[in-house]
Amino acid sequence: MTEFVSIALHPTSANIMLGGTENNGSPKTDTATTSNTWQNALGGDGGFTVISPANPYLMILECDSQTGTGSDCNDNTFVQIVGPSDLGGDEGAYVTPYILDPQNASEMLVGTCRVWSIGISGSSPQQLSNDFETFVPASAPAKRSIS
């Protein structure tokens, strides 16, 4: 039995899907409407997944609490975008939640004990909220709204 944590759909092709499955990696298919065959895009513990609407060949997935990208989306092309060392040492949940920013598809919103914005190219993260565990304010006020 496999538990899907998330599933991402290609913005223009019903055949292309990417999933995150705990303890079973991140399976993908490019034949969803004609076959039930999937291949593993990335090993490890799969988590949240996204296929960029701006660049449908860019697949963003989580593996072992680190988030990265790959155009072919396999172990050899996986490039890490963000990990705990990038987010002020914050550690998220075992499967750390993230989404593409609805206002800017080239950025992600990542949830740890704070909310962070980081470019999908791995640019410097921006802290958008206070620490919700200690209620310590951000070192600088957020420059943009996340709503």
The yes or no reply on domain 4-127 and CATH 2.40.440.10 is no
3-state secondary structure 70-120: ECCCCCCCCEEEECHHHCCCCCCCCCCCEEEECCEEEEEEEECCCEEEEEC
In the chain, domain spans: 4-127
pTM higher than 0.85? no
pLDDT tens profile 21-43: 888 888 889 999 999 999 888 87
- What does the pLDDT average to over 55-66? 72
Asked whether the predicted pLDDT for residue 97 surpasses 70, the reply is yes
